[in-house]
Amino acid sequence: MTGLSGSALEKRPGILASLSSRAAAAAQELARLAAAEGLPLLFTSGRRTPLDQAAAMIDKVRRGEDLRNLYRSAGATLDRLFAAPRTAAAWASILAAAPPISRHLTGDALDIRTAGLTDAQVYRLGELAIAAGFARALRESDHLHVQL
């Protein structure tokens, strides 16, 4: 991806470059739209390995989030995860063998930091994400998740 990769819009370098070409184009358009409205934007996560996804999911469980609500269509995979030891390595092996439970695993999703933003700003970023080409914007505990 050209343009935004390696920019101050990324929490760490490579987030945007890790995305699928369609997600990268939508992220670039989202950045343009947000800048035009003066909205702060920081991408915090893009494509994830199964190990990274497992760690993120275990963190959600530790924070008390309901994975069955977040991953509604992945019941069988969730059953296997909950039956396994709650370690990133154990969960990663299950995620690697299953159909992708998250669009992060395919590079078709990214997370946007929401700390310090008002509810109205987060809502507007979600609207802009849809306008930019993302199909879904979901506010989670500490970020806005957008995906194709």
pLDDT tens digits, residue range 74-126?
A: 999 999 999 999 999 999 999 999 999 999 999 999 999 999 999 999 999 99
In a domain, 93, yes or no: yes
Number of C-beta neighbours around residue 127 at 10 A:
11
The CATH number for 109's domain is 3.30.1380.10
- Regarding whether 96 and 55 lie in a shared domain, the answer is yes
| Residue 71 lies inside a defined structural domain of this protein | yes
Q: Which domain holds residue 27?
A: 21-46+105-147
pLDDT band at 4 (very low <50, low <70, confident <90, very high): low
Bridge partners (DSSP) listed for residue 145: 111, 138
Q: Half-sphere exposure of residue 72, counting CA atoms within 13 Å on the CB side?
A: 1
**Residue 11 included in any domain:** no
132 within a domain of the structure (yes/no): yes
Does 56 lie in the same domain as 36?
A: no
Average pLDDT, stretch 14-19? 91
Q: How many structural domains compose the chain?
A: 2
Residues 67 and 95 in one domain: yes
Question: Does residue 2 fall inside a structural domain?
Answer: no
In whole angstroms, give the CA distance from residue 91 to residue 53. Answer: 9
Q: Look at the block and give the residue holding tokens 């760490």.
A: 12
